[in-house]
Structure 1
Amino acid sequence: MAPPRKHDTDVILDAARTLVLADGPRAASVAAIAEASGAPVGTLYHRFGNRDGVLTAAWLRALRRFQDRTLAAAEDPDPVEAGVAMARAALRFGRELPGDAKLLLNLRPSDLLDTGPDEEFRGALARMNAPLIYQLRRIADALLGHDGDREIDAVSRAIVDLPYAALRRHAHAEPLPDWLDDDLTTAVRTLLTSYRP
């Protein structure tokens, strides 16, 4: 049995995220991340390869945490209720993990990385996004009778764009306003219901 890791990966990724959000991507050098996390520089290079590896891991972890909540909420067989639950899950993510939400809202991978996203990153992103796209297709097909580009765009406006805009607007208000859940739920439900035949 391998010994437990001495320096917790989440502590390292939290430190990288904090540096990026406080002072911008350039502030998150390997040395700065090591100092902020308490992990030796050698540990960061061994575990992540380089600075881009640490920042990629932090960004993808934030996306995974968002998607885990959103996809768990998509279980309702009723397409409107599934969409509403997915939108509410986005707000829950913003409340529970505000640092991760700010990272996803404010920075694209190309903003973080010295070399830009590579094929491995793009492949990981496509695999991570596939279940979410499946749910959007399922909802579009159930409400609009088809899951083409226009229909996917229509349900995405309700399930993705409205929560994204609400989180972006209120990202620096901690905690998020309590009334936001009811207002967003009403807006998403109204838009999705309007698509019913």
Structure 2
Amino acid sequence: MAPPRKHDSDVILDAARTLVLAEGPRAASVAAIAAASGAPVGTLYHRFGNRDGVLTEAWLRALARFQTGVLRAGDQPDPVAAGVAMVRAAIRFGRELPDDARLLLSLRPSDLLDGGPDDGFQSRLAGMNAPLIEHLRRIGRELTGRDGEREVDAVSRAVVDLPYAALRRHAHATRLPDWLEDDIAAAARILLESYRG
């Protein structure tokens, strides 16, 4: 049986996220992340490979946390209800995990990483996004009878773009307005209902 890890990966990733959000991506050097997390530099290199590895994992962890709630919400049988639930889940993510939301809203992987995302990152990202795209495709198909590029784009405007824009506008507020979830969900419902064939 392997001994337990002395330095929790989430603590390391939280420290990296905090540095990036407070001081920008360049501030998140391996030495700075090690100092902020209390983990030795060697632990970071062993566990994540390099600075890009730490920041990649911090960004993908935030995305996974976002997608977990949104995908679960989208499992409802009625397409409008599924889309509205996904919107609500996106706003809840911003309320419950504001630092992860800020990381996703403020920075693209190319902003974080030296040399930009590699093929391995792109492959992981595509794999993570595939279930979300399939949910959007299903909603489009059930509302319009088609699931082509135009239909997926239309559903994305309601389910992705509305909550993204709202969260981005309020990303640096101390807390999200209490009414935001209801307002964005109502707007998404109107759009989705307008697509019914």
TM-score normalised to the size of structure 2? Answer: 0.99
Shift of 1:174: 2.4
Partner residue, 2:10: 10
Paired residue total: 197
- Other structure's SS at 2:159 match: helix
Distance 1:152 1:85 in 2: 17
1:190 paired to 2:195: no
- Other structure's SS at 1:121 match: helix
Over residues 111-133 of structure 1, what are the superposed CA-to-partner deviations in whole Å (9 max), with x where a residue is unaligned? 00002100100000010001001
Partner residue, 1:31: 31
The gaps in structure 2 that reach 5 residues or longer are none
Partner residue, 1:156: 156
Distance 1:92 1:167 in 2: 10
Distance 1:178 1:89 in 2: 14
- Other structure's SS at 1:147 match: coil
Shift of 1:182: 1.1
Task: Please tell me the root mean square deviation across aligned C-alpha atoms, in Å.
Answer: 0.5
Partner residue, 2:61: 61
Distance 1:35 1:81 in 2: 46
Shift of 1:75: 1.1
Over residues 135-191 of structure 1, what are the superposed CA-to-partner deviations in whole Å (9 max), with x where a residue is unaligned? 000000001111100000000000000000000001111210001111111100000
Q: Report 1:19-168 matches (<5 A).
A: 19-168=19-168
Distance 2:36 2:127 in 1: 31
Percent of aligned pairs with the same amino acid? 77
Distance 1:92 1:4 in 2: 33
Letter in 1 for 2:68: D
The gaps in structure 1 that reach 5 residues or longer are none
Distance 1:173 1:193 in 2: 31
Distance 1:51 1:182 in 2: 40
Over residues 73-95 of structure 1, what are the superposed CA-to-partner deviations in whole Å (9 max), with x where a residue is unaligned? 01110000000000000001001
